[in-house]
Amino acid sequence: MFKIDRNYTQYRDDTDPNYPGGKAIDAPFGDSIEGTQFDERFFNQVFGFFQAVIIDAFGSLQISGKPDSARASDVLDALKTINRKITDDIQRQVNTTIDNLIVNFAEHDDIRNAIRSAEIRITVLENAVYMDVVSNPFIIEFLNLEGVELLRGVWVEEGQRVECSRYGDDISVSFNNLHKIELLRGVWNAPYSQLEC
């Protein structure tokens, strides 16, 4: 764009802070020539901007050949197209970021298991505080029980834990092949094939 300065016209306003590049002024009366003139530079400035917007939106000067109006405007259509391109690009970036986060999260079993473990501990604390639990909750945690035979106790797959069964004074669970899995909490008594809480 160009400035409305002394190189353009002597009839201008250089004092308005809202127009640091110069401000046009009206002629003081009807036949006066002491107003800011509208010459080819002015019209090229305005229409050059309109053409730049349309070309940026559509890749070429796709126009109707009719003057813009409140009901039909080539410039407004171009601005809407530019805005749609920007918002679509932002949405693609957001979707890509979310997809990467989901993939990365899915690949980290340790993170998911840590979250589940924390959820279990929170539940235990809530039970102790709100449910007046006074005995040991006996929680034993695993990643999974693949390849293991559970002889006594209850496997809660969603919580990744085995709940102990009580037989008289004996509170325990029993397995075969426990060496095949990762024990997160509990004590393995190998001679008796027994896991103690």
User: Which has more confidence, 77 or 197?
Assistant: 77
User: Which has more confidence, 72 or 103?
Assistant: 72
Does the reported pTM lie above 0.75?
Answer: no
Q: What would the mean pLDDT of 134-142 be, rounded to a whole number?
A: 54
Record the tokens describing residue 109, joined without a space.
């079993």
Q: What is the pLDDT of residues 176-195, one digit of tens each?
A: 555 555 555 566 666 555 55
- CA torsion sign for 171, 175, 179, 183 is negative
The per-residue pLDDT of the chain, averaged, comes to 76
Q: Which of 178, 183, 148, 141 is nearest to 191 (CA)?
A: 178
Q: What is the pLDDT of residues 9-22, one digit of tens each?
A: 888 999 989 988 88
pLDDT of 116 higher than 60: yes
Contacts of 127 (CB under 8 A, 6+ apart): 133, 137
